[in-house]
Amino acid sequence: MDPRDYRDARWHALLREAEELGVPAEDAPAVVARVLGEQQRRIRRADDPDPLVREALADAVLGPPERTGRRRWPAALILAAGLLVLGVVVLLTRPQPPPADHLGDDQLPSLFGFDRTTAEQVLEDRGFEVQLRTFQSCEVRDRVVASDPGPGARVDRGDEVIVYTSLPTSNNCLPRYAYREAAWRFLDFANGRGPAPEFADRVFVYPEDGRRLVLTGAETADPEAWAATGVFSRVRAASDDVALVSERPLAYAVPAIRVVDATEDLGTCGVPATAVAGTSDAIAVLVRPADRQGCSLRIELYRDAERRIESVAVYPAVD
């Protein structure tokens, strides 16, 4: 398995495991990163790296277990026992349909973009027992940052799901916190999970085809008025994206967002600047694809001096 894919899929779970082993929260990222670095070769060779990484993490925190003198079985006997077990497994198991890049009804849904209240409601409506826990993160407060089991896991009604939500505790979170709040308000509105953010009396919308549409203040609060722009459908498609990372263990990746100044992070995904007279500030919300391939969906929000959105420009994700 690719070590980078494994890290993306299991990072938060390994952080929690490190903390449960007694590692302080502020030291957990460094400990987990060191263990993953030391185990890269073994991860690459393994179909299911989870057991070996968890063992290495426990050894790194608690020290390796003491070896006890035990009688070794003859190699031939071990081989025979292994073949017997393999034969039983082959006889008793049936092949499962391979997981695809979408989630079925028997899999835990993606909680990307959900706040704690919405996530709890969605999961309880599907019959799960939900536990809410906080996790130190610079994400907007109460926004879901992880779950256990993760998205795509095979689940049944009545299963317990632990949802981890953000609790910002560091001053390092402050510089762009207000921008992330503004970004999530717009994304929540577009995804049908929240009220409209504050818009100006007239809003210019620049869809991907270069047109310029104008919505009145009253229209901006009506999701149906946005249908002709294609903005909301783009946001919803990007937010619903999932990507299969590993079949063993079964793991999926979900999108992620970045919030930058509208003039930043163009790179190979460069887009023409949208000139909006009198704009006080402008931010770009980048919804990165779940598989991290290609260019992100880019939504630029231009706001006036009163922090009301007066223009929205959308540039679709490119493979």
Q: How far apart are CA 210 and CA 216, in angstroms?
A: 20
CA angle (242 as vertex; 236, 246 as ends), nearest 5: 175
pLDDT computed for residue 144 by the predictor: 95
Q: What is the pLDDT of residues 64-121, one digit of tens each?
A: 655 444 444 454 444 444 544 445 444 445 556 546 678 988 999 999 999 999 999 9
Mean pLDDT (the chain) is: 83
Beta strand ranges found along 43-176 (DSSP E) = 129-136, 144-148, 160-167
Rounded to two decimals, the pTM is 0.70
Structure tokens at 296: 């992100």
Q: Which class would CATH give 116-171? A: alpha beta
CA distances from 301 to 14, 107, 120, 208 (A): 36, 34, 29, 14
What is the percent of the chain where pLDDT is above 70?
A: 82
The amino acid occupying position 233 is S
CA angle, residues 210, 300, 110, in degrees to nearest 5: 110
Dmax (CA) of the chain: 82
Which residues lie closer than 8 Å to 256 by C-beta, 6 or more apart? 112, 287, 288
Q: How confident is the model at residue 161 (pLDDT cuts 50, 70, 90)?
A: very high
CATH class of the domain at 176-315: alpha beta
**DSSP for residue 271:** -
Read off the tokens for 208.
């991907």
What residue spans define the domains of the chain?
A: 1-95, 116-171, 176-315
pLDDT digits over 172-212, tens only? Answer: 888 889 999 999 999 999 999 999 999 999 999 999 877 89
Distance in angstroms (rounded) separating the CA atoms of residues 148 and 153: 9
Write the pLDDT tens digit of every residue in 10-68: 888 888 888 878 787 777 887 888 888 888 888 888 878 888 888 888 888 877 655 44
Q: Among 86, 83, 303, which residue's Cα sits nearest to residue 203?
A: 303
